[in-house]
């Protein structure tokens, strides 16, 4: 059993497979029988190594379709969910998302249309505002235990890279933490509520879980714990992965009670102060693998 939160463990499992593929050239996906956020990453990895990686696909049509979409073969409406490749123009993405027939079913179990679409659209908007990607996709699917997973990946400059391009120098985990707490490289009134509000809505009214991985920085949150991690350089991600895990919620969720009027939601401000003096996650620093540290080990 992994000592890490499930969402982070899934990402680290992808990293392990990536290391093995770099040695052997063979990508064995036969154990991937259901959709996971890593499917997006495997698709991007295969896309970047078309001549050197030989994938062995699993017996799941959903997984194969999703990976095929990431490689560049269009959108994928699977039997389990929906994957939408993000086009270059945001207005085209808005049209694809607005007219996605699979979203109606997810709205019914994710707090209603307003709450569900806010979470999806905010993540997509964030990618267009900051990442300058050449490949990106948002995937929504039902996972086990009556939960819905919303995940987005883009291969852009990453959150730390965006910060550095705008003169904000900090470690990768520090950049992710600052983004969660409201620091933005987007100037002006057109900026949205930010990642902090999306994570706050996911963990508070929904009681869900969230993960952000960008560069060598990561941030995990659930209703009981939250914290940033510094990944080993070999486990860093070229781009950004954001995962929201939403428990079944049949009643309508009022998201406006959690957005606030400013860029710094007070709940995350309090959590950050706590992170700097303690380790809220139930992972003792002494058992963290080499190269992976909890945020409390170092300042942003």
Residue pair 278/296 in contact (Cβ under 8 Å)? The answer is yes
Q: Are residues 139 and 286 in the same domain?
A: yes
In a domain, 134, yes or no: yes
Percent of residues in the chain assigned helix, strand, coil, to nearest 5: 40, 20, 40
| Structural domain contains residue 85 | no
Shared domain check, 116 and 31:
no
Residues 62 and 113 in one domain: no
What does R_g of the chain's alpha carbons equal in angstroms?
Answer: 18
280 & 153 share domain? yes
Do 65 and 108 fall into the same domain?
Answer: no
Helix (H) or strand (E) holding 121, with range, is: helix 113-130
End of a domain among 80, 115, 142?
80
State which residues form the domain around 56.
27-80
Three-state DSSP at 42 gives helix
SS3 144: coil
pLDDT along the chain (300 residues), means of 10: 80 91 83 83 87 76 81 65 87 88 89 94 90 90 87 94 88 92 65 78 95 96 92 94 96 85 35 30 32 37
**Phi, psi dihedrals of residue 283, rounded to the nearest 5°:** -125, 115
Tens of pLDDT, residues 210-244: 999 999 999 999 999 888 999 999 999 999 999 99
pLDDT computed for residue 266 by the predictor:
31
Would residue 37 be called left, alpha or beta, if left means φ above 0 and alpha means ψ between -120 and 50 degrees?
alpha
For residues 213 and 276, state if they share a domain.
Answer: yes
In a domain, 42, yes or no: yes
Same domain, 193 and 257: yes
Q: What is the pLDDT of residues 39-70, one digit of tens each?
A: 889 888 888 888 878 788 766 778 888 888 88
Residue 93 inside a domain? The answer is no
| 125 and 254 together in one domain | yes
Q: Are residues 76 and 116 in the same domain?
A: no
Give me the DSSP letters along 94-112. Answer: HHHHHT-TTHHHHHHHBT-
C-alpha count within 13 angstroms, C-beta hemisphere, residue 58: 18
282 is a domain residue: yes
Residues 72 and 132 in one domain: no
> Is the dihedral angle over the CA atoms 130, 136, 138, 144 positive or is it negative?
negative
Total structural domains within the chain: 2
pLDDT at site 80: 65
How high is the pLDDT of residue 253? 94
CA distance 48 to 242: 20
Q: Do 120 and 66 share a structural domain?
A: no
Q: What residues form DSSP beta bridges with 272?
A: none
Residue 11 within a domain: no
Q: Is residue 21 part of a domain?
A: no
Q: Are residues 68 and 181 in the same domain?
A: no
Residue 164 domain-assigned (yes or no): yes
- The CATH number given to whatever domain includes residue 234 is 3.30.565.10
């Amino acid at each position: 059993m992994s000592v890490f939160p499930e969402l982070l463990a899934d990402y680290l499992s992808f990293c392990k497979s990536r290391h093995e593929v770099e040695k052997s050239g063979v990508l064995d996906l036969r154990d991937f029988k259901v959709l996971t956020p890593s499917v997006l990453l495997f698709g991007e990895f295969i896309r970047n190594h078309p001549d050197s990686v030989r994938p062995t696909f699993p017996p799941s049509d959903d997984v194969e379709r999703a990976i095929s979409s990431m490689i560049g073969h269009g959108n994928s409406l699977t039997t389990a969910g929906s994957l939408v490749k993000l086009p270059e123009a945001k207005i085209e993405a808005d049209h694809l998302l607005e007219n996605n027939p699979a979203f109606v079913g997810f709205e019914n179990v994710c707090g209603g249309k307003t709450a569900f679409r806010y979470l999806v659209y905010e993540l997509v908007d964030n990618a267009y505002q900051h990442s300058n990607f050449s490949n990106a996709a948002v995937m929504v699917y039902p996972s086990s235990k009556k939960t819905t997973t919303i995940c987005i990946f883009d291969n852009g400059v990453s959150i730390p890279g965006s910060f550095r391009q705008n003169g904000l120098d900090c470690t990768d985990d520090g950049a992710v933490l600052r983004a969660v707490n409201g620091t933005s490289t987007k100037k002006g009134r057109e900026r949205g509520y930010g990642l902090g509000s999306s994570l706050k809505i996911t963990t508070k009214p929904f009681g869900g879980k969230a993960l952000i991985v960008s560069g060598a920085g990561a941030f995990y949150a659930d209703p009981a714990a939250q914290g940033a991690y510094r990944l080993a350089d070999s486990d860093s991600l070229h781009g950004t992965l954001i995962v929201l895990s939403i428990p079944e919620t049949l009643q309508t969720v009022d998201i406006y009670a959690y957005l606030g009027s400013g860029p710094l939601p007070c709940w995350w401000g309090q959590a950050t102060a706590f992170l700097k003096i303690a380790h809220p996650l139930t992972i003792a620093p002494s058992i963290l693998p080499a190269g992976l540290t909890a945020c409390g080990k170092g300042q942003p």
